[in-house]
Amino acid sequence: MKPAPFDYFAPESVDEVCRLLTEAGGGATLLAGGQTLMPLLALRMSQPFILIDINRIAALKGVTRADGVTRIGPMMRQNEVIADPVLAQAQPLLVTATRHVGHHQTRNRGTIGGSIALGEPAAELPATAVALGASVEVRSTRGSRRIAAEELYFGPYATALEPDELLTAIHVPEWPAGTVWLFREIAQRPGDFGLVGLTGALALKDGRIERAGIAWFGMGPTPIKARQVEAALLGQAIDTLDPRALAELAIADTAPFDDSHASAEYRRTVGKRVFARALSETLNLRAAA
């Protein structure tokens, strides 16, 4: 099938995108990597009057670091995220999560901003943004604003982004030295979305957990912050942790569902095991290092 007709624009500045979005009055869609949008257009599940291609805007690319925050341009391709030396040092969890997004070929075009703006509940990057305490910067002709990742997602593909807003940067706090990273994904095949996914960071100091950021993907209608287990982990000495008991709390905030790939019960059972194993392996590895 071919897409329904639309007007195509490829502006070179953020201001121009904002102007076009305002003029379109909700009838425009942004084209980033196209790895989700192009199939939707071809199937006519998306029928914008105007397509705004944001690939020519240099200001939407690149990485900078300042004041303990990494600022990432949304138009960085997922493979650029994986290869970036600054991100390897400053945001290793984000790099690990990106390795699990789709396939090498889709990552050549797919962007970090496209994934975070889309809000697929089983996707790796929105949950990782939530776990790390990231926020997004958005622009429109009405001005700019920041939205915390944990307030960005309302439901599958439903986000706090207004139809006239462009995501212009992702701000990710840098976690302290001594942080360990949790990332586990259970998927049917490599490159598939997660049936059950866990992503998170634990900042350790003197054998205790000083800060915890943990989120699930594939475990509810949005990425889900595991608030209860984060609270239970705070201040705890590592050698007193009981991973199995904590695993019950770890899934307490989730809302697993049945679909054609797995039942809610499967997701709950596997989620608990994934959490317990990730916690014990990660902390043991660190202790052995």
Ligand X SMILES: Cc1cc2nc3c(=O)[nH]c(=O)nc-3n(C[C@@H](O)[C@H](O)[C@H](O)COP(=O)(O)OP(=O)(O)OC[C@H]3O[C@@H](n4cnc5c(N)ncnc54)[C@H](O)[C@@H]3O)c2cc1C
Q: Does 218 bind ligand X (CB under 6 A)?
A: no
For the segment 136-165, give every residue that binds ligand X (CB under 6 A).
161
Least Å distance, CB 87 to ligand X, is: 17
Indicate the residue among 62 and 191 with the shorter CB distance to ligand X: 191
Binding footprint of ligand X, residue count (CB under 6 A): 31
Position of tokens 């599958």? 156
The residues, any chain, with a CB within 8 Å of residue 150's CB and separated by 6 or more, are 130, 133, 225
Applying CB under 6 A, among 124, 150, 164, 230 the residue interacting with ligand X is 124
For the segment 167-186, give every residue that binds ligand X (CB under 6 A).
167
Q: Does 94 bind ligand X (CB under 6 A)?
A: no
Q: Does 97 bind ligand X (CB under 6 A)?
A: no
Cβ atoms within 10 A of the Cβ of 276, count? 18
Indicate the residue among 101 and 276 with the shorter CB distance to ligand X: 101
Indicate the residue among 108 and 269 with the shorter CB distance to ligand X: 108
Q: Does 129 bind ligand X (CB under 6 A)?
A: no
Of all helices (H) and strands (E), which one includes residue 200?
strand 196-205
Applying CB under 6 A, among 81, 94, 118, 279 the residue interacting with ligand X is 118
On whether the CB atoms of residues 87 and 95 are closer than 8 A, the answer is yes
CA end-to-end span of the chain: 55
Applying CB under 6 A, among 110, 173, 220, 223 the residue interacting with ligand X is 110
Least Å distance, CB 161 to ligand X, is: 6
Q: Does 213 bind ligand X (CB under 6 A)?
A: no
Indicate the residue among 93 and 180 with the shorter CB distance to ligand X: 93
57 φ, ψ to 5°? -95, 105
Of all helices (H) and strands (E), which one includes residue 203?
strand 196-205
Dist CA 197 CA 216 (whole Å): 6
Dist CA 255 CA 151 (whole Å): 17
Position of tokens 């996707």? 123
For the segment 12-71, give every residue that binds ligand X (CB under 6 A).
29-37
Query: Which long-range contacts link 151-158 to residues 24+ away (Cβ below 8 Å)?
Result: 152/116, 152/119, 152/126, 153/119, 153/121, 153/126, 153/222, 153/223, 154/222, 155/221, 155/222, 156/119, 156/120, 156/121, 156/221, 156/222, 157/118, 157/119, 157/120, 158/119
Least Å distance, CB 226 to ligand X, is: 19
Q: Does 222 bind ligand X (CB under 6 A)?
A: no
Indicate the residue among 110 and 213 with the shorter CB distance to ligand X: 110
Q: Does 127 bind ligand X (CB under 6 A)?
A: no
Indicate the residue among 42 and 231 with the shorter CB distance to ligand X: 42
Position of tokens 């979005």? 21
What is the binding site for ligand X (CB under 6 A)?
29-37, 74, 101-103, 106, 110-111, 113-115, 117-118, 120, 123-125, 161, 166-167, 191-193
